[in-house]
Amino acid sequence: MRIEPFELERWFGKYEHDADIMLAESGIRSLPASRFDTDPGELGYVIPTDGDPEFREEIAARYGRSADEVVFTCGTQEANLLAMLATLDDGDHAVVVTPTYQSLHALPRSIADVSTVELAPPEWNLDPDVVADAIEPNTRLVVVNNPNNPTGTYHSRETIDAIADLAADNDAYLLCDEVYRLLAEDSLPPVASLGPRGISTTSLTKAHGLAGLRFGWLAGPPEIVDAARRWKDYTTISPSIFGQHVARQALAEEDTILDENRALAQEHRERVGEFLAAYGLDWHEPVGVNAFPTVPEGFDDSREFCRTVVEEESVVLAPGDLFGFDDRFRLGFGLPTDELEAGLERVGRVVENAR
């Protein structure tokens, strides 16, 4: 098993620590720990190691599944890793919808053969017929994330239903990374609730503003969750006891948290739209907190633009070439309002100076 370097993390590793403003963060602003009771008692393992059964039963109800069809993980990243390991073997084939978060195509490539279905600007629409054409006799897994990172496109219920049917008809599974799903005002049902071959991964990181908990889960068919549970014995063994303890409290007040976060995302989305329009930059108005606009004139490519912004104004953006589009960049607008305003002002200076 060979895995390619995670280029987005390497870019962040180079610039994020020393920069003033992180304008490429892909989640909502973090909630303060003081909002919750952070004393879980003794610092032992979570027992059983796939998560508290009663809490898993609560989560499973969201998907119309049983507690045994959910495993708690260290964020969505581990959930996706376990899902890939549970479904794919050497000689299998996967179909991945791109652009997307790198792990969703790099992880299956480390195990199996992969074909990609490319979304195209400006609408980034997903055509189920193109997915059908990409499926091969040995296709075991179809991978999508919805809403999409980096474009913010939210594929329709009709589209997701059609792809779920395609996967099932070909004895494959549909894995959907749904980490931004609950930032939508009218969110779709999770994929794991749509049929026996649907797998959902998510966490409290992006929509709830609790990245530091490192708490997520995988929900899906029992044979996949059982295999994921066996693989987890070799990764993190159990979820964080702090994460599970605070996650219970966060989900008890989930409606309030999500109302606050959706309101912030909408306000910031409007502000970013005004900023991009002022400089003539194209974007697809997103669901979630990621914008994927075009690079301003005066720069050869996304890497030159983002490097100039961070070196001259100490603001981190994500170059679009990390997602396969060298004429775009990712801008995250879920951060606190004062930081967003300061970051946009600084980016604006760079754009103005290049004119």
Rg of the chain over all Cα atoms, to the nearest angstrom = 20
Q: In sequence order, what DSSP letters do the residues of 93-109 get, joined into one string?
A: EEEEEES--THHHHHHH
pLDDT bin (cut points 50, 70, 90) of residue 233 is very high
pLDDT bin (cut points 50, 70, 90) of residue 354 is confident
Helices 53-61, 241-252: axis angle to 10 degrees equals: 40
Instruction: For residues 318-325, give the mean pLDDT.
Output: 97
Q: What is the CATH number of domain 7-28+254-354?
A: 3.90.1150.10
Q: What is the pLDDT of residue 220?
A: 98
Q: Which CATH number fits domain 40-252: 3.40.640.10, 3.40.50.1820, 3.40.50.10320, 1.10.357.10?
A: 3.40.640.10
| 122 cis-preceded (ω within 30 degrees of 0) | yes
Instruction: For residues 1-9, give the mean pLDDT.
Output: 87
- DSSP code of residue 184: S
d(CA 11, CA 226): 35
Enumerate the β-bridge partners of residue 21. Answer: 315
Q: What is the pLDDT of residue 125?
A: 97
Percent of the chain with pLDDT over 90: 97
If phi over 0 gives left and psi between -120 and 50 gives alpha, with beta otherwise, what is residue 227?
Answer: alpha
Q: What is the pLDDT of residue 355?
A: 81
Domain extents for the chain? 7-28+254-354, 40-252
Instruction: For residues 320-343, give the mean pLDDT.
Output: 97
Same topology, domains 7-28+254-354 and 40-252? Answer is no
Q: Tens of pLDDT along 41-85?
A: 999 999 999 999 999 999 999 999 999 999 999 999 999 999 999
d(CA 163, CA 128): 6
Residue 117's H or E segment, with its range, is strand 113-118
Which of these, 106, 220, 105, lies nearest to 164 by C-alpha position? Answer: 220
Whether 1 has a pLDDT exceeding 80, the answer reads: no
Q: Tens of pLDDT along 243-293?
A: 999 999 999 999 999 999 999 999 999 999 999 999 999 999 999 999 999
Q: Tens of pLDDT along 279-318?
A: 999 999 999 999 999 999 999 999 999 999 999 999 999 9
